[in-house]
Structure 1
């Protein structure tokens, strides 16, 4: 049988074309499983992969954390993220640079907004673990963790546990030191809330007039303690006046 040699390449090209079209029709609904949160390496592996430049490695990971789930034309809902892995990544990032606020900001302002409330605890855990030993430096993230625990997790016990890291820490805003009082008030523990405010009135000499006014409101209206408030405020004002007189 004589075969026209000139037609063979054309026949092969058509067969390839038909096979390609068939493959596309069959596979067009099949998408690659790209995943969302990458697998978490060990601390040792991460150190090795950083090639000695921990700051560069930190920034590369931060960039990936910003964009994961929204690459290659995808848009992923927060409920689809494995927040336990995100927590592990943030912990690893702290091993590279524990002075940066970037992971904490992502945990508090972005990932904590997940549509799965049961996963919020991972972000709260990260905020607490990265901040509790340095409340004078990272008080802001402890206040955020307290707020998220109260209002997203609806767990006032956890919120109080976190807020206590802020109580009595010198050099941070007074309202941050008062966080345990706010949680006690939410729990209906008005006497405990009142005692925290009272202690601050008795010990602090640098309260502003606005802070004094708020503390008066809190103790009278929210802690339900009308007695002693005027006397406490009068003594506080006397201390402030005495301090001002010495400075003059």
Structure 2
């Protein structure tokens, strides 16, 4: 026996079936407006407003644990952790000021990230140019110490961040004693030729600002005599700078005797002769006609 096919009949809705709005009773309009107003008032005035809660920066896992869970790809895990750390100051629509962060824990997180990728630059960039950008001297000093500690592990590749933090101590914190310590570390730990010359000259310039003219002059003269400066323009600039420092020594009374003046003059003449012998273009001989 054949199965009867089910037939569905769809009713088409045509515009003639709609009622015009003018036919809606006024009391229904009033009721709808009252309901909407009550809903808005209830939501705004009676319902408790959500209060975002700031989540504290928790302690990072141990370096051994992170190495284990990296599954043989510590570089990728380091980047993920860095992005997660960078996003911590934005929670539930809140922008958390850096002054609310625990900088001791922050430094530990940066340590873990560097342990996963020793060549990563972004942790050092973040410490030097992001997390140090806070109006809090204590937190700035913690970032300075973090950069100093990691600079000592690889001076020739991390000098840029150390130089930036030296300027922070010098110009923002107005702590020339700290800046001088850091400049000395840059000169002692970096390798000549592997870092820009000004990095190793920073100590001499700070000493000049501190009116330690003799120490500044000795450092500049030593750098020039050691042959560290290979660019002729830079050599001439430092030579003129050394001459200016010696003039300051004379004006300040630090150099008084003729013997001292002659000694300084001989130093300048020796360096000038070295400059001319190394960088002056040799005179080309002109062949005379036979």
TM-score, normalised on structure 2?
A: 0.68
The structure having more radius of gyration, on CA atoms, is 2
The equivalent residue for 2:232 is 209
Q: Structure 2: how far apart are the matches of 1:111 and 1:231? A: 48
**Unpaired segments ≥5 residues, structure 2:** 1-41, 251-263, 283-290
Work out the CA distance in 2 between the residues paired with 1:215 and 1:125: 30
- Measured in 2, the distance between the counterparts of 1:78 and 1:28 equals 26
1:217-232 equivalent positions in 2, closer than 5 A:
217-222=240-245, 224-225=248-249, 227-228=264-265, 230-232=268-270
Q: Which runs of 5+ in 1 are unaligned?
A: 1-20
2:97: which partner in 1?
Answer: 77
Partner of 2:208: 185
Aligned to 1:176: 199
Offset of residue 225 of structure 1: 4.7
In structure 1, distance between residues paired with 2:270 and 2:127: 40
Deviation of 1:107 (Å)? 1.0
Aligned match of 1:235: 273
For the aligned residue pairs, the C-alpha RMSD in angstroms reads 2.8
Deviation of 1:25 after TM superposition, in Å, equals 4.2
TM-fit CA distance, 1:152:
2.8
Q: 1:195 to 1:206 in 2, by over 3 A?
A: closer
Partner of 2:173: helix, strand, or coil?
A: coil
Superposed counterparts of 1:61-72, under 5 Å: 61-72=81-92
Aligned length: 224
Structure 1 stretch displaced more, 142-151 or 85-94: 142-151
The answer to whether the Cα contact below 8 Å between 1:201 and 1:236 also exists between their aligned partners in 2 is no
Q: Distance in 2 between matches of 1:99 and 1:207?
A: 29
C-alpha distance after superposition, 1:180-227 (max 9, x if no partner): 112222333121111110001111164323312431343233562574
TM-score scaled by length of structure 1: 0.78
> Which residue in the other structure is 1:34 paired with?
55
Q: Could you tell me how far apart the structure 2 residues matched to 1:138 and 1:232 are? A: 35
How far, CA to CA, are the matches of 1:186 and 1:61 in structure 2? 42
Query: Quick check: 1:121 aligned with 2:159?
Result: no
Q: Is the 8 A contact 1:164 1:180 kept in 2?
A: yes
Q: Which residue of 2 aligns with 1:199?
A: 222
Change (3 A) 1:199 1:186: same
Conserved in 1, the CA contact under 8 Å of 2:180 and 2:206? yes
Structure 2: how far apart are the matches of 1:241 and 1:39?
A: 57
